[in-house]
Amino acid sequence: MLQSFDWRNAMDSCQEVLRTDPDHLGALETLAQAQWLGGAFSDVITTTTRLLQLNPHEPGYRYTRGMAHLSMGELLRAAEDFRRAMDQSKNPAFQAQVASSLDAVELWLEDQHSRTRRTLRPVSLGALVVPGMGSAARFH
């Protein structure tokens, strides 16, 4: 079903299996893939979090959740998942893929931090009046 991009029917089929077996790893994995294809990233996070509860040592679940966080702009959470996925994996190719994603996130975080620092300027409090305090509360 996923090969034909019929993610809606794949999600329905998975939900049917999960009604009788809520811990069915295959159905949860396929559901996460279908949710990804459907752009339901918050649902991907929920599903992969459930997968990690069932199998906390699977780095692929953590990487998928990190990618969903990334897709939602949650850079710190994505970076955390990527770091843990790299630590859990023994596969060099997978580690390289995750490292590439982590590098991109860290660059975005650095850029975000430097843009924030550039936009912060000292503010003069000389004209600030505290409401209800009269002129005696002016800051100089």
Q: 42-54 pLDDT, tens per residue?
A: 999 999 999 999 9
Q: What are phi and psi of 89, to 5 degrees?
A: -90, 145
> Mean of the pLDDT values across residues 110-138?
55
Listed in sequence order, the DSSP H helices in 1-140 are: 7-20, 25-37, 41-54, 59-71, 75-88, 92-119
Does residue 42 sit in helix, strand or coil? Answer: helix
**98, two tokens:** 């995750």
pTM: 0.76
Q: What are phi and psi of 137, to 5 degrees?
A: -95, 10
**Burial category of 124 from C-beta neighbours within 10 Å (exposed 0-12, middle 13-18, buried 19 and up):** exposed
Q: How many residues does the chain have?
A: 140
> Mean of the pLDDT values across residues 119-136?
45
> Mean of the pLDDT values across residues 111-125?
65
pLDDT above 70 covers a percentage of the chain that reads 79
User: Residue 138: what pLDDT?
Assistant: 37
**2, two tokens:** 């996923």
Q: What are phi and psi of 108, to 5 degrees?
A: -65, -40
User: Residue 132: what pLDDT?
Assistant: 43
Does residue 139 sit in helix, strand or coil? Answer: coil
Write the single-letter amino acid at 50.
Answer: R
**Burial category of 96 from C-beta neighbours within 10 Å (exposed 0-12, middle 13-18, buried 19 and up):** exposed
pLDDT for residue 127 is more than 60: no
Write the single-letter amino acid at 41.
Answer: F
Q: Which domains does the chain have, with CATH numbers?
A: 7-118 (1.25.40.10)
pLDDT above 90 covers a percentage of the chain that reads 66
pLDDT for residue 117 is more than 50: yes
